Every structure is written in C-alpha cells, then in structure tokens.
Copies of this chain bind each other. A is one copy, B any other.
Amino acid sequence: MSTLNNQINQEQLTPTQRSQIRRIPQRSHYERQVIYQILDEGLICHVGFVVDNQPFVIPTAYGRVEDKLYIHGSPASRMLRSLLSGIEVCVTVTLLDGLVLARSAFHHSMNYRSVVIFGTATLVQDTDQKLEALRAFTEHIVPERWAEVRSPNRQELQGTLVLSLPITEASAKVRTGPPLDDEEDYSLPIWAGVLPLQLVASEAIPDSRLHTGINLPNSIRKYTGTEMTI
C-alpha cells in the first residue's frame, strides 16, 4: 500500500546460484521495479532462517526504504536473536491474485506475484536510521499514518530491534493469465477461467475506548471497501 518509493527503477539484479529461478523461468523477473512493487503491496513477509539445521519460517511485518528491507521485533524474539548472529536469511513475500481454474484437475493453478530475497541481516544501530525504519513500517501499513500518531519515544526505540536486509540478491516470480489446458481438453464442456482475488478492507472498527468527536482520518477511510493496493 505504500506510496513511498514510487520512483521507476529499471535496474536489473544479477541472478545468483540461489536467487536464479529454474522452474518455469519465463515467470521470473529481476528488475528492481517489479520486486519493489510486490514488496510495497504486500503486508506480511515470511522470514526463513536456520538454527541447528532446523528451518524456521515466521510471518512478520516489514518495511522497505529504497534497497533495504526492514524487519523488527522484541529483543526476546528467537527470530531476531538468531538473525543477529549473521546467519543466512531468506525472506519471501507472496501476493495471491487469483485462482486459475482449468478444464483438467492437473492444470489448476494460481495467479500470484512473489519475491524471494537472500542475504544476511544487520542490526540498525543509528537512531535516525532506526526512526526511518519505524516510519517505513507505519507508512507501509497506512500511508500518511506516521504523521497522525504518537512517535516512538526513547524507551520504545531502545526496546525494539530493527534489522536491515539489503535487496541485492532477489528475484520475483509472477503468474498471470488464463489456465493452460492440454490442447485436446479445450473441447470439453467444462467451465474454465480465472477467479480474481483481492485483499479488501471492510469498514473500520473504532476502538471501544475512542473518545467521541475523533473522526476516521482520510488515510484510513480511503481503504475501506477498496483493494489494498497502491
């Protein structure tokens, strides 16, 4: 949903051994612009890391500023403590755009856009950069929200770990369009097509302790009943 970072960026990332998409490579994209659009539209990432050869995949919020992906959390978090040791991380963001309903069971699929980022995360220690990251988290959820709310105080800043992951080794994979059936199946009397899906906001629920006279700000109102896309 972010309205930040909307500049066009035609730069292509160089695929590496681990970021190169091998299965159905025609769906792969390495342009920063494609990768950034998916990251900015997504709201949750899945963070993969390894402890004692055991993979963990944890969903969490994130923010992007230019070529950095920020994640954050409590110093007590196993995920953040593990990443702080400099281990490899894989962060994946997936947007589901539709169900692809073919004439055969075998060719059922989904339309989606996903980004996979590889790298190592580093602790953000500079206070200004930490504030920049916290601003990105808030603005990523609801643009213009940062200016409406109480800013983080010193205690909150100190009590939050912020990690930065460079978006340098990454790829996007995108499926769009209709089902692809076997040629002989097109004559079957079976409905086929796409059922588009969107994440949609319904009417905002005011907090029960909200004081009277505080209206829903436009920043939030404009998403009600609309797709959560930029």
CB distance from A206 to the nearest CB of B (A): 4
**The residue from B53, B118, B190, B209 contacting A148, defined by CB atoms under 8 A apart:** B190
Q: Name which residue of chain B comes closest to A184, CB basis.
A: B150
Q: How many copies does the complex hold?
A: 2
Whether B191 lies near A44 (C-beta < 8 A) is: no
Within 8 A of B (CB), among A122-155: 134-135, 137-138, 141-142, 145-146, 148-153
With A138-B108, A145-B101 known to touch, is A199 a contact of B197 (CB < 8 Å)? yes
Tell yes or no: A224 within 8 A of B by CB: yes
Tell yes or no: A7 within 8 A of B by CB: no
With A103-B149, A110-B44, A205-B193 known to touch, is A91 a contact of B57 (CB < 8 Å)? yes
- Chain B residues near A137 (CB-CB < 8 A): 105, 108
CB distance from A13 to the nearest CB of B (A): 17
Tell yes or no: A43 within 8 A of B by CB: yes
CB distance from A230 to the nearest CB of B (A): 15
**The residue from B57, B152, B179 contacting A104, defined by CB atoms under 8 A apart:** B152
CB distance from A152 to the nearest CB of B (A): 5
Q: Name which residue of chain B comes closest to A102, CB basis.
A: B149
Tell yes or no: A99 within 8 A of B by CB: yes
Tell yes or no: A4 within 8 A of B by CB: no
Whether A105 lies near B191 (C-beta < 8 A) is: no
With A55-B90, A58-B92, A101-B142 known to touch, is A194 a contact of B204 (CB < 8 Å)? yes
Chosen A-B contacts, 15 in total, with CB atoms closer than 8 Å, are: A44-B110, A48-B56, A61-B110, A99-B141, A101-B141, A101-B142, A104-B156, A105-B149, A106-B152, A178-B208, A191-B215, A191-B217, A194-B207, A196-B202, A196-B203
User: Which 9 A-B residue pairings sit nearest by Cβ, starting from the closest?
Assistant: A48-B57, A48-B55, A59-B94, A46-B46, A57-B92, A104-B150, A193-B206, A192-B207, A106-B156
Q: Which residues of A line the B interface, CB within 8 A?
A: 18, 22-23, 43-44, 46-50, 53-59, 61, 73-74, 76-78, 88-92, 94, 96, 99, 101-106, 108, 110, 112, 114, 116, 118, 134-135, 137-138, 141-142, 145-146, 148-153, 156, 160, 178-179, 185-211, 214-217, 220, 223-224, 228
